Structure formats: structure tokens, C-alpha cells
Amino acid sequence: MDVLLAATSWQALLIAGLLGASVGSFLNVVIARLPKQLQLQWKYECAELAGEPVREKTQFNIAVPGSHCPQCQHAVAWYDNIPILSYLVLRAQCRHCNTPIPIYYWLVEVATTLIFLALSWQFGLTISFWVFGTALSLLIAMTVIDYQHQLLPDNLTYPLLWLALLWSISPLSTVTPSQAIIGAVVGYLSLWSLYWVFKLLTGKEGMGYGDFKLLAALSAFTGVTLLPVTVIFSAVAGILIGLAVAIKHKQSVPIPFGPFLAIGGVISYLWGETLLQSYWQWLGVM
């Protein structure tokens, strides 16, 4: 068992790689189905509130119906659903109707596999591996969904927040429970305040409530002291990519803020303390 959990053992890396590929495949299902499931749910709820006739609910969720091509409706065979490999074997298209399969399917599986391999190399198959693997998997799903639909579902942001708060209880956490709670509250209120200032000045909504919840979850992992690092790097990433998109399209294009928050949060957690120390040293404070 000790060998299996050792950070550099080939057994741990093999398990982590297979697990990462499988999780990546599952994330693709979540990314493809969760927004549509929520939209159907909202339609039914709106119809009920309006007193309109409600048709019988179509059974649609993460598990039902089974994997199939959205174009030709053919069921996906198990050998066409092998993470990473099937995309390459099928040459990025449906076996039956040749409809192209979006590249993000493959990128999600590859990214998740590499992340799980890196976590296994760093921590072995320990509690840290499972916590950070879960957190980063949630961030991957939220990043793609927000990019595609400008939506950060509570189904994903709340589990990330609860995970961060529970992790703060662990002696392995870099923040205490009180620091995690304060970080979550201040993280939420910082964007909430900015949202209302922007709306009062312009009459427009600059971001959604999902962004507030995501920053709360990220700040619960890092603590309030690293919140400026998260916000600054999120803003810088958003400005750079926003400018690149505007130049490409030759006009201003709305882009979601969630992916940039995820980038800023990961940078803050990994290198936030070092960056802050370097900044204070540069100012001559330390």
C-alpha cells in the first residue's frame, strides 16, 4: 500500500492517469448536458409560475439518455468512448454520420489526465491528491461551460466552496477555517460591490452572480490575504484575452469572467505568497 501511494511510484502514476482520463470523459458529459438540463428545468419552473400548461418532463440529465451523437442520434459504442484514444482513432468525427467532434472534448480529457498525473507526482494518492483533483476538475468544467454559455452553475460553484471550507479543517490546509470563511465572505462581497457600482454608473450588468460565488470558493482556498493576487491576475488575463478577441473580431465582444477567475485562483494558490513577498520586497517593506 505504501508503494502504491508513493508519489513517484509507477503504480500511482498509472492509476492517476487512468483516473484522470476517466474523470475528463465524465467532465465532457457534464459540460455538454448540465447547461441543457438547467435550461429545461428553468422552462418548466417558469411555466408553472406563469400558470401555463406544463408538458410532461423529458427525462434528461447527466446519466440519461446514454451517450449518443447529437446529430444522427446513434448510440456511442464503448470502443468509441475510450478517453483520449477514441477521438484520435475516429479522426475527430462521428463513426456513422461524420459530424465533427469538437476539439474541446479531447483537450478536456488530456488536460485532466495531465493534472492528475502532476498531482500524483507531487502528493501520491493521498487526501491532497483527491481534494485538489476534485477542485481542479470542477474548475475545468466551469471554465468550459462559462466560455460556451456564460453560465456558472450553482451545481458546480457550491461544491467547490464546500470542498474549500471542509479542506480548511485539515491540518494539511494552508489556511485555517476562520481564514477560509473570511476569505469566502470578502471574496463574494468584493465582486458583489463592484457589480453594483458598475450597474449604478452604467445601467448595465458587468458580471453575473456565479462569478461572485466562484471567487468566494477560490478565496476560501487561499484566504483573504491572497485575494488581491487572484483579482489582479484575473483582471490582467481578462484584459489581455479581451483585447486579443476584440482585435480579431474588430469590435468589442462580451466574454465571460469565470475562466479568468479560475486562472487567477490557481496562480494565487500556487505562487501567491511568493508573489506577495516579492512585491513587498520591491517596495522595500520587507
Give 261's contacts (C-beta < 8 A, 6+ positions apart): 211, 214, 215, 218, 230, 234
Q: What is the DSSP letter of 91?
A: T
Q: What residue type is assigned to position 51 of the chain?
A: G
Helix, strand, coil percentages, rounded to 5, for the chain: 70, 0, 30
Phi, psi of 51 (to 5 degrees): 70, 20
**Predicted local distance difference test score (pLDDT) of residue 202:** 87
Give 141's contacts (C-beta < 8 A, 6+ positions apart): 27, 30, 31, 34, 156
Residue 178's closest CA among 189, 190, 169? Answer: 169
**Predicted local distance difference test score (pLDDT) of residue 2:** 39
Q: What is the pTM of this model?
A: 0.91
- The torsion angle over the Cα atoms of residues 47, 49, 50 and 54, rounded to 10 degrees, is 30
Largest CA distance in the chain: 68
**Predicted local distance difference test score (pLDDT) of residue 278:** 85
Length of the chain: 286
State the cell numbers at 1. Answer: 500500500
Q: Within 10 A of 186 (CB to CB), how many other CB atoms are there?
A: 15
Burial (0-12, 13-18, 19+ Cβ within 10 Å), 235: middle
SS3 93: strand
Per the CB < 8 A criterion, the answer to whether 142 and 262 are in contact is yes
State the cell numbers at 272. Answer: 501567491
**Predicted local distance difference test score (pLDDT) of residue 266:** 95
**Predicted local distance difference test score (pLDDT) of residue 3:** 39
Cell 462580451, located at residue: 254
State the cell numbers at 84. Answer: 483520449
Written as tens digits, the pLDDT of the chain (286 aa) is: 333 455 568 888 999 999 999 999 999 999 999 999 999 888 888 888 888 776 666 778 888 888 888 888 888 888 889 999 999 999 999 988 999 999 999 999 999 999 999 999 999 999 999 999 999 999 999 999 999 999 999 999 999 999 999 999 999 999 999 999 999 999 999 999 999 998 888 888 878 899 999 999 999 999 999 999 999 999 999 889 988 888 887 777 778 999 999 999 999 999 988 888 887 777 765 5
